[in-house]
Amino acid sequence: LILFVLALFSTGKFAKKLSSRWVRCHCAFAEHSWLGAVGGATFLCITAWHLRAIVDKSRLLILEVTFSSILSPNFLWPPLLLNCFFCFVLFCFVLFCFVFFLITLFPLSHRWLVIAVGLVRAYLAKGSYHSLYYSIEKPLKFFQTGALLEILHCAVGIVPSSVVLTSFQVMSRVFLIWAVTHSVKEVQSEDSVLLFVIAWTITEIIRYSFYTFSLLNHLPYLIKWARYTLFIVLYPMGVSGELLTIYAALPFVRQAGLYSISLPNKYNFSFDYYAFLILIMISYIPIFPQLYFHMIHQRRKVLSHTEEHKKFE
C-alpha cells in the first residue's frame, strides 16, 4: 500500500512534468498524468512483488546453506563463506535493480524491467535457464503488442524516427511473438527464444533510460555510451534468436499446415505459411543491415560530438 501511494504521487508528478514540455515520449502512459500514475504504480507493485520473492529465495538459500554446512560432519568454513558471499552478491543485485528502477526508469521502462526481474526470479526458482519463456509469456505479449503505438508516434511526428525502420522493428517483434512463438507451441522451450527475449529486454531498458534522462536534460555519459555501443552485440544477438526461432518452427508449420490455404476453394486463392516464413527470414538480409549501420552512423555522430564537447570544455 505504501509503495502504491508513493508511486502514485511520484509518477503523476513525473508524467505531468514531461507532458507540460510537449516532450517526445515513447510510452503512452506518460501522455496523461493520471494514466501514467495508475499504470506506473501498478507495474511498480508487480516489480516489488517479484523482488520480494527473490529476496525471500536468497534468505532461504543462506539459511539452508548455513545449517547444512554446520551440521555436516566434514564441515569446512570456506564453502560456507563462499555461498554466503554469493547470496550477498545476489541481494546487492536485487537492491540495485530496485533502486535503479525507482530513480531512472520510472515510468518509461517499468514494463521491460518487470520482464527482466521475472526472468531472474524464474531462474532462481528453477535453477536452469531452459523454458524460462513461460514465466514471462503474458507480460511479454502485452508489452510488446503495446509497442505498436511507437509506429503511430513516428507517423504523426511525436518521435523523429524513420517510420519504415520503426515499423519493421516493431512489427517483426509482434509477428514473432504471436504468429510464431504463440502459434507454434513446440518452439517455446527453445533456447533461441530466451536469446531474443534477453536481447530485447536489455535493449529496451537502456533505450528508455536514455529517453528518460534526455527528457530531464540530465543524460549521464554512461547511459549514452551504452545506448550507442551495446547494440553492437545486442542487435545481432536478437536477430539470431529471431531467425533461429523461425527456423525451428518451420518443420511444425509444414507438418500441421498452419495458417495455410490450399486449392481448390471458392475464392481460388492459396497461401503457404511455410513459404511465407522463409520469405520473412530472407527479408532480414536487406533490412537488418540498414538498421544496424544506421545505429553505427548515429554512434559516430553522437559520441564524437560528445568527445568534442568535452575537449571544448
Q: What are phi and psi of 105, to 5 degrees?
A: -95, -10
Whether residue 297 contacts residue 259, with contact meaning beta carbons closer than 8 Å, is answered with no
Catalytic position from the list 31, 123, 137, 235: 235
Q: Which of 166, 198, 160 is nearest to 23 (CA)?
A: 160
Q: How many C-beta atoms lie closer than 10 Å to residue 196's C-beta?
A: 23
Dist CA 244 CA 27 (whole Å): 30
Return the residue matching grid coordinates 511479454. 140
Whether residue 114 contacts residue 101, with contact meaning beta carbons closer than 8 Å, is answered with no
Catalytic position from the list 133, 190, 242, 274: 242
Cell numbers found for residue 23: 516532450
Cell numbers found for residue 85: 558471499
Catalytic annotation present for 242: yes
List active site positions. 235, 242
